[in-house]
Amino acid sequence: MTTQAFTGVMSPVLTPFDNDLKPNGRKLAAFCKQLLAEGCTSLSPFGTNSEANSMSVEERIDLLDQIIDSGIDPKKLMPGTGSCALSDAVRASKHATQRGCGGVMVLPPFYYKNMTDDGFYRFFAEMIQRVGDARMKIYLYHIPPQTIQGISLDLIERLIKAYPTTVVGIKDSSGDWKNTEAMLKRFPGFGIFAGSEDFLLANMRGGGVGCITATGNVNAGMIRALYDTWQSPDADAKQAHISSVRKVIQRHPMIPSMKSLRAAWTNDPAWLNVLPPFLPLTMEQGKALAADVAKLGCKGPELVPAQ
Residues 28-67 that bind a copy of itself (CB under 8 A): 48, 53-57, 59
Which residue in the set 26, 73, 129, 145 belongs to the binding site for a copy of itself (CB under 8 A)?
Answer: 145
Residue 126 contacts a copy of itself per CB under 8 A = yes
Per-residue 3-state assignment (H helix, E strand, C coil) for the chain: CCCCCCCEEEECCCCCECCCCCECHHHHHHHHHHHHHHCCCEECCCCHHHCHHHCCHHHHHHHHHHHHHCCCCHHHECCECCCCCHHHHHHHHHHHHHCCCCCEEECCCCCCCCCCHHHHHHHHHHHHHHHCCCCCCEEEEECHHHHCCCCCHHHHHHHHHHCCCCEEEEEECCCCHHHHHHHHHHCCCCEEEECCHHHHHHHHHCCCCEEECCCHHHHHHHHHHHHHCCCCCCHHHHHHHHHHHHHHHCCCCHHHHHHHHHHHHHCCHHHHCCCCCCCCCCHHHHHHHHHHHHCCCCCHHHCCCCC
Q: Which is nearer to a copy of itself, 6 or 17 (CB)?
A: 17
Which residue in the set 6, 31, 46, 110 belongs to the binding site for a copy of itself (CB under 8 A)?
Answer: 110
Shortest CB 15 distance to a copy of itself, Å: 12
Residue 176 contacts a copy of itself per CB under 8 A = no
Q: Which is nearer to a copy of itself, 65 or 181 (CB)?
A: 65
Q: Which is nearer to a copy of itself, 48 or 217 (CB)?
A: 48
Residue 85 contacts a copy of itself per CB under 8 A = yes
Shortest CB 44 distance to a copy of itself, Å: 16
Residue 296 contacts a copy of itself per CB under 8 A = no
Which residue in the set 112, 234, 291, 302 belongs to the binding site for a copy of itself (CB under 8 A)?
Answer: 112
Q: Pattern 272-291, binding to a copy of itself, x per CB under 8 A? A: ---xxxxx------------
Stretch that binds a copy of itself, among 120-128, 181-189, 192-200, 218-226 (CB under 8 A): 120-128
Q: Which residue ranges make up the site for a copy of itself (CB under 8 A)?
A: 21, 48, 53-57, 59, 84-88, 91, 108-113, 115-116, 118-120, 122-123, 126, 145-146, 148, 275-279
